[in-house]
Amino acid sequence: MFPPLLLAGTRRIRLGDDTRVESFVSLSVAREGSIDIGSNCELRSFACLEADTGRIVLGDGCSVNPFCSLNGYGGLQIGSDVRIASHSVILSSTHRFDDIDTPIRSQGMEAKPTVIGDDVWIGAHSIVVGGVRIGSHSIIGAGAVVLGDIPAFAVAAGVPARVIRLRNVTAGEPVSGGSLPL
């Protein structure tokens, strides 16, 4: 039988006021890692947050739904009021693999800090790879694989994810070129 909550490294885990943690949630830190969860958040059943030597920060009012996996090895910063749907994976590191004479598992990890702005909705079964920035007020469609930065107010979908529209642009209005704000 599984414990209702798995905590590893509890001195470096902080839960904000009125944060709800359901059964079978795993919060794990090692060495100098930490997890800092804001107030009024929900960590739903079987969610897994692993910081190891990195840091995971969730703002206030976030929900991490069932079977999500958040990796903070390289640093994961998530703003306030972010919705992360079931079975999503958010990474902040990757394996090194350049030496073909050494097994990948023996080559270590490369930190790739990931930042997600405020008021973002990440759809079910999405994957956000390490090193990505997702701008505030954006939506990531279900099943998307986010390999690059997504601007603020964007709706992104697909594999790889691409911006399919902007939430703050009226239908039929041209979208100006150049970089979009994160």
> Do the beta carbons of residue 68 and residue 86 sit within 8 Å?
yes
Q: Is 95 annotated in the active site?
A: yes
**AA letter at 153:** F
DSSP strand E in 11-134: where? 13-15, 20-21, 25-29, 34-37, 42-43, 48-52, 55-58, 63-64, 69-71, 76-78, 83-84, 89-90, 93-95, 109-111, 114-116, 121-122, 127-128, 133-134
**Measured distance CA(61)–CA(85) in Å, rounded:** 14
**Measured distance CA(75)–CA(73) in Å, rounded:** 6
**Measured distance CA(51)–CA(64) in Å, rounded:** 15
Distance of CA 100 to the CA centre of its chain: 30
Q: Of 87, 95, 125, 137, which residue is the catalytic one?
A: 95
Known catalytic residues are: 95
